[in-house]
Chains A and B, each alone.
Chain A
Amino acid sequence: MMSPRILFSLLPAAAFAQVEAPPAPVERVHVVEKRPFTESGRTELTIFGPVQINSRFTKHAGVSAELAYHLRENLAVQAGVTWFPLAVQSGLTEELAHKVGQAPVASDALLLQGDALLGLELMPIYGKLDIFDGKILRLGVYLNAGLGAAKTRLQLRSSDSVGGRSFGDTGFRPAAGLGGGVRVFLNDRFTVRLELRDRVYSSYVSRVNGCGAADAAEIQKSGTSATGLSPGCSAASFGSNENDIKGAAASAESQLRSPSASVVNNLAFQGGLSWLF
């Protein structure tokens, strides 16, 4: 039997042997954290509140609904409709009209009443965040694009006119949407979305309420008794009484006199809440 003294004398030698051992190679361990839930194969319904942020000549605010089906975790097909109950000329536009008698060309001041778009969404970036070092939430950064149609109108009378604003219908235009945003998953059913969406639409304006510039000039002159109007053009569409009709037709005529065309970018910030099912 070995004495305790000999045993203790061997301990430093053992430790020395361990120190002298060749250094182990550094191992990098790849950890793939499983997502707690997936969007793949699920449908998402989102309600947004879009507000225009590039409001030089126009201002828009409204509500939008979007239905998306997630084909994969990072790819979805989506269809959305937007309605802008507030689609009017900006304060600057009205101020320029009142104070210096100037107005933007019709194509720059064309208002977007609503649109319907069908498109795709790609969510290539996945991440997570925490709030005040509390609960950790998942997030995705996405891009989307879509094509569809937009319903447009033109403002004919300003807000401080007798009877308030009036509008003329300028019909449907082809439209496209380009967006980018962040989706924060509150849990497996609800997400918060923040998005910047550029609604692009053609704004060639040649008719208001179905009337061209010559029709509008005739209505301005003769009111409801105007004759020789184009098919589809009616004086009654400009207002409910003779004064309103003549005033609105005069505004339409001045905006149609020089036909204008442009592509309008309606850039909106929109926040929304989604339900995944």
Chain B
Amino acid sequence: MQTLHTRREWLWKTAAALSGAYGADASLGRAGAPTAPVALARCKTYDPAELLPTMRKMFDQLGGLGRLVKGKTVAIKINLTGSPTYRLGYLPLEDTHYTHPHVIAAAAHLMAQAGARRIRLLESPWSTADPVEEYLLRANWEPRDILAAAPNVEFENTNYLGTAKKYSRLAVPFGGYVFPAFDLNHSYADCDVFVSLTKMKEHATAGITLSMKNCFGLTPCTIYGTGAGIDEPSETPKGGRTTVHAGDRQPSRSAPPEKDPRSPRRDTWRVPRTVVDLVAARPVDLAIVEGIKTMTGGEGPWVDGDLKPVSPGLILAGLNPVTTDAVAMAVMGFDPMADRGTPPFERCDSTLKLAEEAGIGTRDLQRIEVAGASIAEAMFDFAAMRRQRRAAPPPPFRVRG
């Protein structure tokens, strides 16, 4: 296991732990990490006739949406990762790696029914300050279908300053692994309830992408992206978040810098920690993981390898992102207690473990109440497919002129 770390990473981690700066006290965090129930359901299609009652029942199993959203402004971070012009084969993006529009619309509809005052759909779309609606059109979606799901639904592109006069600073309460605080689009501060609504997928860098990893996209690329301004945020985002991935530069100077610029620069170390910092800074009140249709082998069609569309027919919701992701991992056939070196974290640190150690939530299934379908009933074995994929010889190199 040790060989998976660089010597520099090991030294940094040891020194940080000894100095007491390594996040929260790990053992205390693990023992005291809160738990919350998770609702798990089978849902074979995106047909609203099946989807709406399924989601309504899940929310009821969690104590009812009204308790959470009545009279509140709800911000829902959806997942539209990568360019809208990039598909897995000919498949629509929503069938493989984007949160499906019907799930977004159903969530908005049910929240409005439960009394939400205002519903804001947030995403930081790839390399653009265009309105999210325009981004959706390029993905071949009809944004009006989502906007019409309930009154007072609106989109905001959070990849830049947006409609506010300044960025909102959100501190990481436990001090942070990488960042002590973030400067984010105002929408993440100007809400009463924050929902992470994402797709169930593996991830090339972080092993898995569920409700917590979805929050990586909170960071505006005007500050944390390839084209971020040096002193001040750039006006418009350009490129991806390679600066957070690789740590090859600091965010714009107007934002809080990393705690320790000598910490490891490897994305498999940095991304899981940054995700936990973000989830701590902007707590997730409701996590929804959609795996009705998705893909195996990575988070999007740009990932190298044998990528396949699959139909697990699953959807989960929970009041804690760590417990929700733990159950999601389990139904994917992975052990949520897995650490670096064990699938799906062969090369990276476990976001769940780091979040648990930071006191955000437990990943121990024995402490998590699962309502609805059982994990065994719902299991769709991503892990077995991963083993098979990794055991197979690499595909032949192919050149077509």
A-B complex is real: no
Give A residues with C-beta under 8 Å from B.
none
